Amino acid sequence: CCCDRKRSTRSFHSSVDSSVRVQQCFTDQIPFSLHIMATTAASSHTTAAFSALLQSLGMQNPASLTVREQHASSGKGSGVVMHLSGTVDSDHDGAVVNLAIAKLQAQNPAVRVNKAQLHFAATAGSVGPDALSVSDEDLKELSESPDLFKEKVSFVVQRMQQKGAKVVVHTGAGISTAAKIPDFRGPNGVWTRRDRGQSAPKGIQLDQAVPTYTHRCLAKLVSLGMVEFIVSQNVDGLHLRSGVPVDKLAELHGNCFREICASCGKAYLRAYDVKRRRGPFFRNAEDTLSLSGISHITGRKCESCKGMLRDSIIHFHENLPEHDLTMGQQHSERATLNLCMGTSLHVTPAADLPAMLMDGACMVVVSLQRSGGDVRALNSGGVTVHAKCDEFMEAVMHGLGIDMPNTEEARLAYEEAFREQVSAEQAAEEQEEAAAAKAAAAAAA
């Protein structure tokens, strides 16, 4: 199936651009400007304190920054306005700037940052007009120093623990690679190999995949009320299979385990991939509802109205499910933290949702590579984290004080229990389908 580069949807909100676009990353030099107002008696030390923070956090190119102070007064008192401008090398130094701002405000609550003046400007990357992958430069997998990684995790944990926090997580194929499911734009991704003229990468069948450590952590955080909602671009169904409730999840690109009645709209969640296991009905029927030319007919009938069941996977030129997209937008707009994990953020409209932020909210991107959302995350006051999703989530769970071991023993125990449960569900469904087919044959006779 071709369920990554997303297609148009019926217009439902003027802020959503539903056109089919693949966005590109920025290049190395990012110009930015920032004004910081310090209104305390110690305001003259603000510039020095900020510069020290940048250095301690590992600013790679401090020489590119220009800092000047200007004395000012307002209704809240007199102080110093610090004007900071220059360029940063990729998103590393941009994230350091935002971490330093957060630390400066924590050390001195009287320091005010005018977010309207915080601006990192993006520049376009370079790939062919028909390419679905990213440039060679953006294929590179990056990493963090241990100290900076801890600082970024601490930043996220503090955001999650703030009073009134509303955390929405946006997930992509990168959270499922640990389950042996290929991603799309990684060094060995589906689109990367396609654009190089290579065969598709090998991976596990989706109905054999087991939820990863990240899936299990997110399900736990949802159950604890620490994650309000999950917006996923994945079709592997692993969020639901890990225990995330249906009403806490928007699956923008469908679910390989769900089929829907074309007549009454009733949905069925199966224990198997509905595309791989066809039923006995509608074998020669044409799928006149398909906008892509790909048949969604699964060969099964609706139990309620006997209508045709169709899979829920979204292909090229097809509409995103309006309910899921609407829910994803509404939750993203209300979030205090939009946390993006394992997604390249190159595909709209899914890539636009995390940036729909209310005042005071921020966006964080967790990806081994640079993403199409890095600059928007920096402009929101957020950070980028170059790490594997499981590694990041283990550190976050530890920071939150939640016991969630990420050991081989824990993984094997979970996998054994999960497979036993799935086997029982599949056996029960096979019995039901066999009984239904027998009854249908008897009725026909």
Give the pLDDT band (50/70/90) at residue 433. Answer: confident
Grouping H, G, I as helix, E, B as strand and the rest as coil, residue 357 is coil
Predicted pLDDT at 11: 31
Check whether 85 has a pLDDT greater than 70: no
Mean pLDDT highest for which of 188-202, 263-277, 340-354, 387-401? 387-401
Residues whose CB falls within 8 Å of the CB of residue 316, separated by 6 or more in sequence, listed in order: 2, 5, 7, 20, 292
Check whether 222 has a pLDDT greater than 90: yes
Check whether 380 has a pLDDT greater than 70: yes
Give the pLDDT band (50/70/90) at residue 110. Answer: low
**Cα gap 258→309, rounded to integer Å:** 10
Predicted pLDDT at 147: 94
Lowest mean pLDDT across 8-17, 131-140, 142-151, 283-292:
8-17
For the stretch 156-167, pLDDT in tens is 999 999 999 999
pTM of the entire predicted model: 0.85
For the stretch 383-432, pLDDT in tens is 999 999 999 999 999 999 999 999 999 999 999 999 999 999 888 888 88
**Cα gap 411→179, rounded to integer Å:** 11
Q: What is the mean pLDDT of residues 34-63?
A: 63
Q: Which helix (H) or strand (E) holds 30?
A: strand 29-38
The question of whether 253 is a catalytic residue gets the answer yes
Write the single-letter amino acid at 393: M
- For residue 201, give the nearest of 242, 173, 175 by alpha carbon: 173
Predicted pLDDT at 25: 40
Provide Rg for the chain, Cα atoms. 24
Check whether 32 has a pLDDT greater than 60: no
Predicted pLDDT at 131: 57
Angle between helices 46-56 and 90-107 (to 10 degrees): 130
Predicted pLDDT at 331: 98
Tokens of 438: 């027998």
Q: Which one from 92, 215, 239, 253 is the annotated catalytic residue?
A: 253
Q: Give the pairing of strands 111-113 and 29-38.
A: antiparallel
Write the single-letter amino acid at 261: C
Task: Tell whether the torsion through CA atoms of 35, 361, 324 and 224 is positive or negative.
Answer: positive
Predicted pLDDT at 5: 38
Q: Which helix (H) or strand (E) holds 215?
A: helix 213-223
For the stretch 285-322, pLDDT in tens is 999 998 888 999 999 999 999 999 999 998 877 888 99
Predicted pLDDT at 439: 79
Percent pLDDT > 70 in the chain is 77
Check whether 144 has a pLDDT greater than 50: yes
Beta bridge partners of 167: 337
